[in-house]
C-alpha cells in the first residue's frame, strides 16, 4: 500500500491547494482536476480533508511550487506509512492490554527522568535564551504526555542536520544542561530534535506564556522579550528567521545580478504584524502581506537585505549559504 499525506491543520491544507492553483496559473478547480485527472468528488475530499492525499499526487503538486513554499508545506505534513492499518490494529491491542503497556511506559519514563537535569526557569534573559525562544516560536512544539514533557524542533534533514545536531544541541546544553535525542523521521526528509524536560516545558509555557500543543496560529513574541533591550529582541528575531525565514535569489535576466529577497511565511497574521513593526523600528523596510494567500513579511533589494544581515542576521548555514557573497 502506498503512503498517504495528511496536513497538520485545516489552514495548511487549504493554503496548499490555493498555492497549487496559483503556481499552475489556473483559475478554477476544474482546471486542476482535468490537469491531474482527478474526479470532482475525490478532489473535494482531498481539499476538505475527508481523504488523505496520495504521496504521488502530493509530489506532483508540490513540484510546481516555488522552493520556499515547498519547504514550508513539507514541514507541516505527515506521512501515513504502508502499515497504517496495522497501526490501528495496534491501538486495539493496546486497549485490550492497557495495564501491561502502561507499566512498560512508566518504566521508560523513569529512565528518561534520570537523564534530565534541573535548571532555574527564571534564568537571566540572555541573547542565547532569546534566540532559543525565537527558534521555538518558528519550529518548536511542546506538550505533556502522561508523566513526561517533550520539547521538539523539526528541521530539514537534507541541510539542517549540523545546525541542530551541533549548534542547537550545544546551545541547549549551555542554557539548560540538557542533551537532545535527535532522530531522522522515517517517512519524510525531516530531523526530529527532542528534549525531555519538565523545567523547560514550564519555562516555555508559564514564564514565556507560549501555549503547549499546536501553536502555529496563536503564538506571539513574549512580552518579556518585547520589553527588553533591542539586542534581545534582535536575537529572538534571528532565531525565528533561522527557523522559518526563506532566502530567494531572483536570477531572471532582467537583473544584472541575482536580486535578493528574504521572506517569513507563516499562517499567523498577529505574529507577522509583530515582526513587521519590529523590523520597521530597526530601520529595515519590508512589506506585510495580509491576505489569506499572502501571509508573509518580505524584505527585498540589496540595501534592505544588507540592513537585515547587519541588524538581525542568520546563524543557520542553510540561509547563510545563499547569502555568502551578498555582504560583499
Residues 6+ apart with CB under 8 A from 21: 27, 29, 32
- Specify the CATH class of 238-322 in words: alpha beta
How much is the pLDDT for 327?
A: 53
Whether 238-322 and 103-216 are alike in CATH topology: the answer is yes
How much is the pLDDT for 262?
A: 94
Sheet holding 245-250, edge to edge: 245-250, 259-265, 296-300, 287-289
Over residues 110-139, the pLDDT tens digits come to 555 545 457 889 999 999 999 999 999 999
**Torsion-angle region of residue 293: left (phi > 0), alpha (psi -120 to 50) or beta?**
alpha
pTM to 2 decimal places: 0.69
Burial of 29 (0-12, 13-18, 19+ CB in 10 A): middle
Angle among Cα 97, 103, 109 to the nearest 5 degrees reads: 135
Residue appearing with cell numbers 507563516: 266
Distance of CA 175 to the CA centre of its chain: 22
Q: Where are the alpha helices (DSSP H) in the chain?
A: 10-23, 29-36, 40-48, 55-62, 67-74, 84-96, 98-115, 127-139, 161-162, 169-176, 198-202, 223-226, 230-244, 269-281, 302-311, 317-322
How far is the CA of 233 from the CAs of 7, 125, 182, 208, 275, in angstroms?
Answer: 32, 11, 28, 14, 10
Residue segments in the chain with a per-residue pLDDT below the cut of 70: 1, 81-117, 325-328
Determine how many CB atoms are found less than 10 A away from the CB of residue 66.
13
Q: Where are the domains of the chain?
A: 4-80, 103-216, 238-322
Angle among Cα 101, 213, 312 to the nearest 5 degrees reads: 135
**CATH number 3.10.28.10 is the correct assignment for the domain at 103-216:** yes
Amino acid at each position: 500500500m502506498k503512503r498517504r499525506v495528511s496536513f497538520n491543520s485545516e489552514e495548511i491544507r487549504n493554503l496548499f491547494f490555493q498555492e497549487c492553483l496559483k503556481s499552475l496559473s489556473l483559475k478554477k478547480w476544474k482546471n486542476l482536476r482535468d490537469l491531474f485527472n482527478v474526479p470532482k468528488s475525490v478532489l473535494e475530499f482531498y481539499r476538505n480533508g475527508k481523504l488523505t492525499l496520495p504521496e504521488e499526487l502530493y509530489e506532483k503538486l508540490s513540484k510546481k511550487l516555488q522552493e520556499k513554499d515547498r519547504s514550508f508545506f513539507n514541514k507541516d505534513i505527515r506521512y501515513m506509512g504502508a502499515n497504517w492499518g496495522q497501526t490501528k490494529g495496534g491501538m486495539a491491542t493496546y486497549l485490550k492490554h492497557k495495564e501491561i503497556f502502561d507499566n512498560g511506559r512508566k518504566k521508560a519514563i523513569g529512565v528518561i527522568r534520570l537523564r534530565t537535569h534541573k535548571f532555574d526557569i527564571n534564568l537571566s534573559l540572555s541573547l542565547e535564551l532569546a534566540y532559543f525562544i525565537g527558534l521555538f516560536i518558528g519550529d518548536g512544539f511542546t506538550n505533556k504526555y502522561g508523566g513526561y514533557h517533550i520539547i521538539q524542533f523539526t528541521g530539514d534533514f537534507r541541510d539542517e542536520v549540523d545546525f541542530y545536531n551541533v549548534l542547537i544541541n550545544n546551545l541547549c546544553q549551555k542554557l539548560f544542561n540538557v542533551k537532545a535525542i535527535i532522530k531522522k523521521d522515517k517517512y519524510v526528509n525531516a530531523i526530529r530534535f527532542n528534549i525531555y524536560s519538565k523545567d523547560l516545558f514550564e519555562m516555555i509555557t508559564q514564564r514565556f506564556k507560549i501555549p503547549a500543543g499546536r501553536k502555529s496560529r496563536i503564538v506571539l513574541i513574549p512580552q518579556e522579550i518585547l520589553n527588553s533591550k533591542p539586542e534581545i529582541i534582535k536575537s529572538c528575531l534571528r532565531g525565528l528567521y533561522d527557523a522559518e525565514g526563506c532566502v530567494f535569489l531572483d536570477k531572471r535576466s532582467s537583473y544584472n545580478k541575482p536580486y535578493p529577497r528574504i521572506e517569513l511565511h507563516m499562517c499567523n497574521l498577529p505574529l507577522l504584524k509583530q515582526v513587521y513593526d519590529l523590523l520597521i523600528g530597526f530601520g529595515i523596510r519590508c512589506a506585510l502581506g495580509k491576505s489569506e494567500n499572502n501571509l508573509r513579511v518580505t524584505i527585498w533589494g540589496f540595501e534592505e537585505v544588507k540592513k537585515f544581515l547587519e541588524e538581525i542576521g542568520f546563524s543557520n548555514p542553510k540561509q547563510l549559504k545563499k547569502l555568502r557573497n551578498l555582504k560583499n
